Chain A
Amino acid sequence: MHQHARDAYPDECCGLIVGPPVGESGSGGSEEKRLLPLRNVQNEYHERDPATYTRTARRAYLIDPFEFERILTEAKDSQEVLRGIFHSHPDEESYFSQEDKDAAVPFGDIPSFPHAEQIVMSVMGGEVKGAKVFLWSSDEKDFLEGELVVDGE
């Protein structure tokens, strides 16, 4: 994940984490999760339609919708679910911005993937300086910072 963030700098990187549903297969632990670094296509959309996609990849990320669907379909076929979504903030802190919330909660007040962790990395000058994880709280109707468990970077 860190390598992907470094490679993408000064643009934002993005990717997904898939794995068995929590508590349903084995331990559901990190060893069963798969990290999928993906291409940030924000610049292509911005170039084509700057009025809708106002920001460049320097300040935003977008996973190719068809790629996203393919991954979700394949995950479902292998009894996996989306466990996490990650992206980086180049030369910014690792906070969950309003734009990040808007993208995560496009319909009403429930996220598209309420059980997926949202991981944000801070990349300063090309080096990953920190990362935070945010989890959806159905009580607070908001993403709250959770405990980041690092395993074998």
Chain B
Amino acid sequence: MKVPLSPGLAGTSALILGAGGLGSPAALALAASGVGRIGIVDDDAVDLSNLARQILHRTEDIGRAKVASGKERLLALAPKVEVRTYPVRLSDENAAEIIRGYGVVLDGSDNLAARLSMNDACVLEGRPLVTGGILRFFGQLMTVIPGKTPCYRCVFGALEGGREGPSCAEAGVFGAIAGIIGMAQAGEAVRILAGFAPAWAGKLATADFWKRKFGATKLKNDPSCPACGKLFRDNRDEEGLVHGSEPVFTN
């Protein structure tokens, strides 16, 4: 059976940082939704330990570049999708150039430095960012609309330079939580690309499969945030409201 390509999203594009636990389900969902162009950034190769959650890749892909097996799998699902691959490590130097030309960015990377680089580039370029994170039985997600809702650095920037928590590879992760958060990221991206307001802009969605709890926390921007503070100040009108963002802060 061929997956129908929705013409409504054929002209849209999404960039995925990381073809791992989050990027895998997100990429499959975006391709199946009919997003016309998908970019994948990953400099890693497929390892046997990845396969429990990184569903873009198969046993026979072990040792291959994740962007290569990811592209192959997406094209098998949706032959009309254009897949661009970036087998590089994301950094402050290349982030802005890579995201240019994509309508929305999904972050599923495994380290804080890459997340902050991607956040800063998205704020600079005015790109919506849907960022997800997972560890053990816990997952979280937030969407950043630059200048309108708090950015990733507003919320997690203080952790920079400190000791990072354990990675999924070190502490383990419950495979299904990656699917849940990755799919939710794709859902947010599709909402944005279709012209709808994202569900998690200005809020942190959390899913805890150990404590059996879903949650939502309203986020505040940091007025002194080096990434988005100026944008916020520029967007405020005489009444102190940020244009277009009122529902996010009053819901």
Interface of A toward B, CB cutoff 8 Å: 48-49, 51-52, 54, 62-70, 73, 98, 101-109, 112
Contact = CB atoms under 8 A, between A and B. Distances in A.
A140 to B, nearest CB: 16
Contact of A68 (B125, B197, B245): B197
B103 A52 contact: yes
B203 to A, nearest CB: 13
Interface string B180-192: 0000000000101
Contact of B244 (A48, A66, A101, A107): A66
Interface residue tally on B, bucketed by range: 20 to 34
Given A49-B125, A107-B33, 11 more contacts: A48-B125, A54-B11, A66-B148, A67-B244, A69-B197, A73-B247, A101-B7, A102-B10, A105-B8, A107-B8, A109-B6
Contacts of A103: 8, 195
B103 A112 contact: no
Contacts of A64: 244
Nearest to B201: A66
Contacts of B7: 98, 101-102, 105
Interface string B4-23: 10111111110000000000
Contact of A51 (B101, B193, B244): B101
Contacts of B13: 51-52
Nearest to B100: A51
Given A107-B6, A108-B4, A108-B6, A69 B103 contact: no
A69 to B, nearest CB: 4
Given A51-B101, A63-B195, A102 B11 contact: yes
B4 A109 contact: yes
A91 to B, nearest CB: 23
Given A49-B127, A65-B197, A106 B103 contact: no
B248 interface: yes
B176 interface: no
B196 interface: yes
